[in-house]
A and B are shown apart, each in its own frame.
Chain A
Amino acid sequence: MNNIEIVSIIAAAFSVGMGAIGPALAEGRAVAAAMDAIARQPEAAGTLSRTLFVGLAMIETTAIYSLVIALLVLFANPFVK
């Protein structure tokens, strides 16, 4: 196993780990804000949860991006071979 492969594996793990921190904090804040809003105004729960789902999908995309980067580094690395 050469140096590039070792660095690739470390980079993949690092990318997923670091990339999960931001979205996790952001999703927590978004859900907390939505809970707060639903508690204040229960009749708007339908609109709020739809917007919440779309927003969560947006936030989650950043984590998915880092997962895809990790997969690219592991399986489609241009510097290996």
Chain B
Amino acid sequence: MIRSPLMLEPLFHVGTVPVTAPVLVASAIVLSLGAGARLASRRFALRPSRLQATIELFVAAVDEQIKGVMQADPAPYRALIGTIFLFVLAANWTSLIPGVDPPTARLETDAALAFIVVCATIGLGVRARGLRGYLATFAEPSWAMIPLNVVEQITRAFSLVIRLFGNVMSGVFVVGIVLSLAGLLVPIPLMALDLLTGAVQAYIFAVLATVFIGAAVGEGGGQRASTPNGDGNEQH
């Protein structure tokens, strides 16, 4: 029997706190990304080195995407969106390391990421519109829509979790099944497909976070925010 992807056994305990493998891998990713960013940004010069040019290209691409979605100045959102994208990408691609499962293939990591997005949405929305103004967006077309809007907030956060979990986990699962059926070297094309899926899912997670924040903040993010509105409410 293949192990359930919904269950987790702790690796070891620190005091009374159980520590699982995804927590360990995610912490390693956070540490290495942080240390890498620190080291890479130490020697910035006016004449950019190759590394600095790559980083500037990435930041410019993130800026362009945020500006395209929100039609607003990307500066306040660059750090959050860029970090989310980099973390999810790194987490999805840890499946390349033998013996390491991507932490995003577990519900807990995805739930934590979506929780960050929801908190950022509420916080930035309140900061942009004020508490009254943000709460007023729930009654936007008319007051009768309040329950639906509240439900939508919950379901779209939930679907953010399930989407990332389902995509990454199914990739790992399929590779495991093919490996147990066919043996060595056969699942390599599937792993290459996993790389593509991981990159697309990281992009989609970051874009959806931008769309949600843009909808909460307003200022031209409003009409584009109609894209995710059907999500979660129209399940066949």
A contact residues vs B (CB 8 Å cutoff): 22, 46-47, 50-51, 53-55, 57-58, 60-62, 64-65, 67-68, 71-72, 74-76
Chain A, residue nearest B232 (CB): A61
Identify which of A22, A55, A64, A76 contacts B6 (C-beta below 8 A): A76
Known contacts A22-B236, A53-B204, A58-B231, A75 near B166 by CB under 8 Å: no
Residues of B within 8 A of A57 (CB): 163, 201, 204, 208
Identify which of B163, B203, B211 contacts A61 (C-beta below 8 A): B163
| Number of residue pairs A-B, CB distance < 8 angstroms | 61
In the assembled complex, B227 has its CB within 8 A of some CB on chain A: yes
Known contacts A71-B6, A75-B5, A58 near B170 by CB under 8 Å: no
In the assembled complex, B137 has its CB within 8 A of some CB on chain A: no
Give 1 or 0 for each of B181-219: 1 = CB within 8 Å of chain A CB. Answer: 000000000000000000011011001100100000000
Known contacts A61-B159, A72-B6, A67 near B166 by CB under 8 Å: yes
Is the Cβ of B231 less than 8 Å from the Cβ of A75?
Answer: no
Identify which of A53, A65, A75 contacts B7 (C-beta below 8 A): A75
Residues of A within 8 A of B162 (CB): 61, 64-65, 68
Residues of B within 8 A of A22 (CB): 236
Residues of B within 8 A of A60 (CB): 163, 167
Is the Cβ of B204 less than 8 Å from the Cβ of A54?
Answer: yes
Query: Contact residue range for chain B?
Result: 20 to 34
Residues of A within 8 A of B163 (CB): 57, 60-61, 64
In the assembled complex, B228 has its CB within 8 A of some CB on chain A: yes
Question: Quick one: which of B126-148 are within 8 Å of A by CB?
Answer: none
Nearest-neighbour CB distance to chain A for B235, whole angstroms, equals 6
Residues of A within 8 A of B6 (CB): 71-72, 75-76
How many angstroms from the CA of A74 to the CA of B173 in the assembled complex? 14
Is the Cβ of A47 less than 8 Å from the Cβ of B4?
Answer: no
Nearest-neighbour CB distance to chain B for A4, whole angstroms, equals 16
Nearest-neighbour CB distance to chain A for B174, whole angstroms, equals 11
How many angstroms from the CA of A54 to the CA of B235 in the assembled complex? 17
Is the Cβ of A62 less than 8 Å from the Cβ of B236?
Answer: yes
Chain A, residue nearest B234 (CB): A62
Is the Cβ of B236 less than 8 Å from the Cβ of A68?
Answer: no
Residues of A within 8 A of B65 (CB): 50
Is the Cβ of B236 less than 8 Å from the Cβ of A55?
Answer: no
Is the Cβ of A47 less than 8 Å from the Cβ of B227?
Answer: no
How many angstroms from the CA of A49 to the CA of B43 in the assembled complex? 36
